[in-house]
């Protein structure tokens, strides 16, 4: 899973095809992409991303949201918010997409072996965490308690809803879902993700947390976990910046002394905490 | 002093943790066990805040009524408190509260408890030490919800 090769020419995308498309919400879609005819043998690690290219329009970094056990079907979840992602979201099965990758650092799941694993997602942050969840469920015996916490704006904005329901009923898995607001017919929890962290059952001295979502949410979540006794070096965040080259050359994604595309997107919290919340970075 | 079942429930509840048995008994003297069926209103916005609740079991939705459908902005459950408006004049409930599930709670009579706090400032101080952190935490959460962190960002490519 951790053998990550590189393309000989890092800027040349391979042509993949949309095999299947599923709308998660009104503006968010999950694609399964099939590889080029010449084949594709690279694996990816949970937490990594690909650069997806819509021909003649532009390229965007998108986290891989598929199962790392099935790397030949590359899965991405895209929210249509800009010129590139709007076109990506509208692509029908059979359409071509340029893809290069996988790039970036991964969730250090090997370090969590024998410990409680907390996967904390805000909004579309569930997409980069889904490969880690798939991996943890497929290797359930490697981890102690598995806690999945997911917060989003409203029930209509929940992605991977069927899977969340499945994980909720799974033995040995605590899956806590919350939304910021809801209509009265929503039977679930309403409130911030911080309240769900308080309800999570884990041993803070022997746990690892992977957190992905808006930066403010990640910062507050990390502080909440530390408040419960978890060491800062057991918390990992996935950051997002303006990635262009994806190979640590162009500098567009610079974050203080770091290039997010190469050293990140996954960082250990204690290494980047001083930079979070600094407006000038 | 003889203890009652309610004294013991109060003394063992996390919200009242650290209080002496005497103070627990004083507080419990204003309390009674209540339960609500799913869908039942516990209070409505604008009602007199004549009680606050410590939830023992169940789930309650806090709703803001408005034109059309109400919006649920928070749910509270086991171990949480409900209705801090009992502390603040003019003692009016700030939202609707509806039981989502069968909910069991202790309801504390606000007039009774405010009277005891006026007579015994130590009791009032101890209660304030427990209510203020909850209110600050809820304010922090409300700010995070108001920031609408999960809204789509228009600036993305």
Instruction: Give the separation between CA A18 and CA A96, rounded to whole angstroms.
Output: 6
With beta carbons less than 8 A apart as the criterion, state whether B31 and B81 touch: no
Torsions phi, psi for A3 (to 5 deg) = -85, 105
Proportion of chain B above pLDDT 90, given as a percent: 82
The pLDDT of residue B156 is 41
CA nearest to B35, candidates B108, B107, B104:
B104
The pLDDT of residue B1 is 54
Structure-model confidence comparison of residues A260 and B97, the more confident one:
B97
How does B83-111 read in b/e, with b if 16+ C-beta sit within 10 Å?
bbbbbeeeeebbbbbbbbbebebbbbbbe
The pLDDT of residue A177 is 97
With contacts defined as CB-CB under 8 Å, which chain B residues touch A214?
149-150
The pLDDT of residue B3 is 65
| ipTM rounded to 2 decimals | 0.89
The pLDDT of residue A251 is 86
B84: tokens are 């801090």
Q: How many helices (H) and strands (E) does chain A have?
A: 7, 15
Instruction: Give the separation between CA A262 and CA A105, rounded to whole angstroms.
Output: 7
Beta strands A49-54 and A96-103 are antiparallel
The predicted-structure confidence for A22-44, as pLDDT tens digits, reads as follows 999 999 999 999 988 877 667 89
The pLDDT of residue A10 is 76
| Nearest C-alpha in B relative to A126 | B150
Instruction: Give the separation between CA B98 and CA B42, rounded to whole angstroms.
Output: 6
pLDDT band at B157 (very low <50, low <70, confident <90, very high): very low
CB atoms under 10 Å from CB of B150, counted, come to 21
Chosen for mutation from A28, A85, A184, A211 (greatest number of chain B CBs closer than 10 Å) is: A184
Instruction: Tell me what the mean pLDDT of segment A60-89 comes to.
Output: 92
Residue contact A180–B150, C-beta within 8 A: yes
A26-40, A54-68, A111-125: least confidently modelled range: A26-40
The pLDDT of residue A2 is 44
Mean pLDDT of chain B, nearest integer: 91
Residue contact B73–A217, C-beta within 8 A: no
The predicted-structure confidence for A209-227, as pLDDT tens digits, reads as follows 999 999 999 999 999 999 9
Residue carrying structure tokens 């209705």: B83
The pLDDT of residue B2 is 59
Instruction: Tell me what the mean pLDDT of segment B16-42 comes to.
Output: 94
Instruction: Give the separation between CA A271 and CA A268, rounded to whole angstroms.
Output: 6
The pLDDT of residue A77 is 96
Distance from B141 to chain A by nearest Cα, in Å?
A: 6
Given its phi and psi angles, is residue B58 left (phi above 0), alpha (psi -120 to 50 degrees) or beta?
Answer: left
Torsions phi, psi for A132 (to 5 deg) = -65, -40
Reply yes or no on whether the pLDDT at B77 is more than 90.
yes
Instruction: Give the separation between CA A44 and CA A64, rounded to whole angstroms.
Output: 8
Reply yes or no on whether the pLDDT at A75 is more than 80.
yes
Reply yes or no on whether the pLDDT at A231 is more than 90.
yes
A3-12, A46-55, B145-154: least confidently modelled range: A3-12
Reply yes or no on whether the pLDDT at A4 is more than 70.
no
Q: How far is CA B80 from CA A76, A112, B15, B88, in A?
A: 39, 32, 8, 19
pLDDT band at A228 (very low <50, low <70, confident <90, very high): very high
Torsions phi, psi for B26 (to 5 deg) = -60, -45
Q: How far is CA A9 from CA A101, A243, A263, B156, in A?
A: 11, 18, 20, 27
The predicted-structure confidence for A134-170, as pLDDT tens digits, reads as follows 999 999 999 999 999 999 999 999 999 999 999 998 9
Residue carrying structure tokens 């209510």: B131
With beta carbons less than 8 A apart as the criterion, state whether B45 and B96 touch: yes
The pLDDT of residue A158 is 95
Model pTM?
0.90
For chain A, the residue count is 281
The pLDDT of residue B153 is 62
Residue carrying structure tokens 């957190």: A211
Structure-model confidence comparison of residues A2 and B120, the more confident one:
B120
Instruction: Give the separation between CA A250 and CA A239, rounded to whole angstroms.
Output: 18
Beta strands A74-79 and A28-34 are antiparallel
pLDDT band at A63 (very low <50, low <70, confident <90, very high): very high
Which stretches of chain A sit within 8 Å of chain B by CB?
27, 58, 60, 79, 81-85, 122-124, 151-153, 157, 180-184, 186-192, 194-195, 213-214, 216-217, 220
Proportion of chain A above pLDDT 70, given as a percent: 96
pLDDT band at A240 (very low <50, low <70, confident <90, very high): confident
A64-78, A82-96, B69-83, B142-156: least confidently modelled range: B142-156
pLDDT band at A280 (very low <50, low <70, confident <90, very high): confident
Residue contact A184–B154, C-beta within 8 A: no
If DSSP states are collapsed to H, E and C, what string results for B77-94? ECCCEECHHHHCCCCECC
The pLDDT of residue B54 is 95
Torsions phi, psi for A36 (to 5 deg) = -65, 160
Instruction: Give the separation between CA B112 and CA B119, rounded to whole angstroms.
Output: 11
Instruction: Give the separation between CA A264 and CA A63, rounded to whole angstroms.
Output: 12
Reply yes or no on whether the pLDDT at B36 is more than 70.
yes
Residue contact B157–A186, C-beta within 8 A: no
The pLDDT of residue A8 is 57
């Amino acid at each position: 899973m951790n053998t990550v090769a590189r393309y000989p020419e890092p800027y040349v995308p391979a042509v993949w095809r949309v095999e299947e498309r599923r709308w998660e919400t009104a503006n968010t879609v999950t694609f399964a992409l099939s590889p080029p005819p010449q084949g594709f043998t690279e694996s990816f690690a949970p937490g990594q991303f690909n650069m997806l290219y819509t021909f003649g329009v532009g390229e965007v970094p998108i986290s891989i949201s598929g199962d790392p056990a099935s790397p030949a079907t590359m899965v991405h979840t895209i929210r249509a918010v800009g010129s590139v992602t709007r076109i990506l979201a509208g692509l029908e099965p059979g359409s071509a997409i340029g893809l290069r990758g996988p790039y970036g650092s991964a969730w250090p799941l090997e370090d969590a072996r024998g410990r409680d694993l907390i996967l904390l997602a805000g909004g579309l942050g569930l997409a980069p965490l889904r490969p880690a969840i798939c991996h943890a469920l497929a290797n359930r015996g490697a981890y102690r308690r598995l806690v999945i916490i997911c917060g989003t704006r409203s029930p209509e904005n929940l992605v991977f809803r069927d899977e969340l329901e499945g994980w909720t009923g799974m033995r040995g898995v605590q899956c806590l879902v919350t939304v910021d607001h809801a209509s009265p017919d929503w039977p679930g929890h309403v409130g911030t993700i911080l309240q769900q962290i308080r309800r999570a059952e884990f041993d803070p001295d022997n746990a690892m947390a992977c957190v992905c979502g808006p930066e403010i949410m990640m910062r507050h979540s990390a502080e909440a976990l530390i408040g419960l006794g978890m060491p800062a070096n057991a918390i990992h965040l996935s950051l997002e910046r303006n990635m262009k080259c994806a190979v640590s050359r162009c500098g567009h994604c610079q974050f203080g002394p770091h290039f997010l595309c190469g050293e990140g997107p996954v960082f250990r919290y204690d290494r980047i905490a001083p930079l979070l919340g600094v407006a000038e970075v | 002093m003889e203890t009652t079942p309610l004294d013991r429930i109060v003394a063992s509840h996390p919200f009242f943790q650290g209080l002496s048995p005497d103070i627990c008994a004083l507080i419990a003297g204003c309390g009674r066990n209540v339960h609500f069926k799913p869908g039942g209103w516990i209070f409505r916005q604008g009602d007199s805040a004549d009680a606050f609740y410590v939830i023992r079991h169940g789930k309650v939705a806090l709703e803001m009524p408005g034109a059309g459908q109400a919006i649920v902005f928070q749910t509270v459950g086991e171990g949480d408190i409900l209705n801090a408006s009992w502390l603040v004049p003019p003692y009016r409930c700030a939202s609707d509260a509806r039981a989502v599930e069968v909910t069991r709670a202790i309801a504390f009579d606000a007039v009774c408890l405010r009277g005891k706090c006026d007579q015994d400032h130590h009791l009032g101080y101890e209660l304030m030490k427990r209510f203020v952190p909850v209110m600050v935490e809820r304010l922090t959460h409300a700010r995070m919800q108001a920031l609408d962190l999960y809204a789509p960002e228009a600036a993305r490519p």
